[in-house]
């Protein structure tokens, strides 16, 4: 009786470990579901919206301008941020807010990206903390899953169109 019970328990633990490993690999290398909070990506992503963030693009270096990404905060590694990629390495980006009378610009250094929220007046982003290392990107948001009435792929930023840089026009 004890031997049968022990065998069943160890069998259950074995299956739990196997499925746990599979789930870990799926969330680490394929993607994850993210509940977004805060107003910085409104109206594209509202507070409490649920999105799916795929991780393959990050590993394959396929993040592009206009993509919405989940990244580790440059201030606190325990916090994730959700922002739109405005500039990649060597791109010239505007560092001043939409309300600034004098526009300032900078170049994104090698191995970094420039991130901004769609809600420019209510977003802490690269205009505050500068470009972030590419390694802080956790994944690319590809689907909005909740609320149900807005399920689907995400649209271009409502506030601005991503402007092609000189390097983009040379590749057309």
The residues assigned a catalytic role are 40, 83
- With a CB cutoff of 8 Å and minimum separation 6, the contacts of 25 are none
Structure tokens at 85: 């990629």
Angle at 125 between CA 120 and CA 128, to 5 degrees: 105
Compute the distance between CA of residue 118 and CA of residue 104 in angstroms, rounded to an integer: 19
Q: What's the CA dihedral at 133, 159, 41, 137 to 10 degrees? A: -20
Q: Answer positive or negative: Cα dihedral of 22, 32, 66, 105.
A: negative
Compute the distance between CA of residue 15 and CA of residue 139 in angstroms, rounded to an integer: 29
Q: Cβ(120)–Cβ(44) under 8 Å?
A: no
Q: Cβ(167)–Cβ(92) under 8 Å?
A: no
């Amino acid at each position: 009786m004890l031997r049968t019970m022990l065998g069943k328990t160890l069998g259950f633990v074995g299956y739990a470990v196997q499925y746990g490993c599979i789930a870990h690999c799926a969330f680490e290398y394929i993607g994850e579901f993210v509940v977004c909070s805060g107003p910085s990506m409104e109206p594209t992503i509202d507070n409490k919206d649920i999105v799916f963030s795929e991780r393959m693009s990050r590993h394959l270096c396929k993040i592009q301008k206009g993509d919405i990404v989940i990244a580790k905060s440059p201030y606190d590694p325990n916090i994730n941020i959700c922002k739109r990629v405005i500039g990649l390495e060597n791109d010239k980006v505007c560092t001043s807010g939409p309300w600034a009378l004098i526009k300032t610009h900078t170049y994104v250094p090698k191995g970094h990206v420039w991130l901004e929220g769609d809600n420019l007046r209510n977003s802490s982003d690269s205009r505050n903390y500068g470009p972030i290392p590419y390694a802080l990107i956790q994944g690319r948001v590809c689907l909005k899953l909740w609320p149900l009435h807005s399920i689907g792929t995400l649209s271009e930023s409502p506030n601005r169109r991503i402007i092609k840089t000189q390097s983009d026009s040379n590749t057309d």
